[in-house]
Structure 1
């Protein structure tokens, strides 16, 4: 048990896709605040683990707790503590980036409109705010998803390949935010990336 005020706990977490072996097998780990880089070869279940922690997949066995909230027993309270940006296109593609953030902001108590505007500028999203996400490029969709997730200001942020499809200026902007999180004591960014993050994370977990 860490003395940090932040804690994400997995205990004996297990999951298998239909007809396959367990991708995640009795995974137990305590995460403290900061930036943790989750690394491993293909097939080690990195993205699956993020989906389990996000509540996008239901564990077949085990416990997940975030800030004292249990995923299975208190699913709504648990999910309000986290934001997740996966490798897939963001949900609600019929909405514009601005509309999507406004919708999400109504669900997350810490959502901050000023932070949203700062991230819009940081990722160069101003020209695309009124266009449906479905009409935007993969890279612009990804930047819009990142800007929204960051502005929700949740204690836990799950990022799957966050550097993919980003232009150089957006990579620099995101890396600057990552560096700040390495010193945080009240939040965790858990990142899956095949690319080197370009910085020293608070912790690295090899699978």
Structure 2
């Protein structure tokens, strides 16, 4: 089997004197969509924050493309797109301006691509409206539009379907599957029943780490 894109070995995390998970091991390969499951409080969000480099409160080893993360942290950050509970949208900016800031990482990205991404998430006509005037769901869509612009091979998505309607959920599922079919990898948590259920791999923290 080829070298896993991401490899987690013997991960241990404790919070408030309670072990969330220990001896946690799994691999993520190119072309995979992996759903992290578990009871509330089992550490799903904590795990995704660890994998995204947003938390260092853990023990164990993480490898990217066969190399320990400590030795390739910069390369890993460039290869990663993280979507958390907060939309990560600047309220004083418009949807187009928010995406323009994100797209600055790729100077060759055209303005038409930004508008295409906003169209895909149902925000045509709202491109130049300040985000503080938009609803929670619309701001969520602004953030999700980044997925249509992303060139990162690894997506880590924590509850990406919150405040999104059924049509939006279906569109995002299709986008994730397209990303995987093109060789990308997706790790996500969600309370939604996914239509692509037979095409994803589920990892249950309660079972893998023996929690709760």
Task: Tell me if TM exceeds 0.5.
Answer: yes
Q: Which residue of 1 aligns with 2:209?
A: none
Output the TM-score relative to the length of structure 2.
0.82
1:10 to 8, 11, 32: 8
Alignment of 1:27-38 (within 5 A): 27-33=24-30, 34-38=32-36
**When the two structures are aligned, how many residues end up with a matched partner?**
203
2:51 to 47, 50, 53: 53
SS at match of 1:100: helix
Q: Which residue of 2 aligns with 1:188?
A: 185
In 2, distance between residues paired with 1:29 and 1:113?
39
Contact between 1:69 and 1:77, CA under 8 Å: does it hold in 2?
Answer: no
1:155–1:94 Cα change, 3 Å: same
**More deviation, 48-57/100-109:** 100-109
Q: Which runs of 5+ in 1 are unaligned?
A: none
Alignment of 1:149-188 (within 5 A): 149-184=147-182, 186-188=183-185
Contact between 2:100 and 2:114, CA under 8 Å: does it hold in 1?
Answer: no
SS at match of 2:125: helix
Q: Which residue of 2 aligns with 1:131?
A: 129
SS at match of 1:127: coil
Shift of the alpha carbon at 1:115? 5.0
Q: Which runs of 5+ in 2 are unaligned?
A: 206-212
Contact between 1:8 and 1:31, CA under 8 Å: does it hold in 2?
Answer: yes
Q: Which residue of 2 aligns with 1:21?
A: 18
**More deviation, 174-183/78-87:** 174-183
In 2, distance between residues paired with 1:108 and 1:10?
30
1:109–1:14 Cα change, 3 Å: farther
Output the TM-score relative to the length of structure 1.
0.84
1:140–1:36 Cα change, 3 Å: same
Larger-gyration structure (1/2)? 2
Contact between 1:122 and 1:170, CA under 8 Å: does it hold in 2?
Answer: no
**Cα distance per residue 1:76-128 (max 9 Å; x no partner):** 22111111111223153433222222222233689676654333112111222
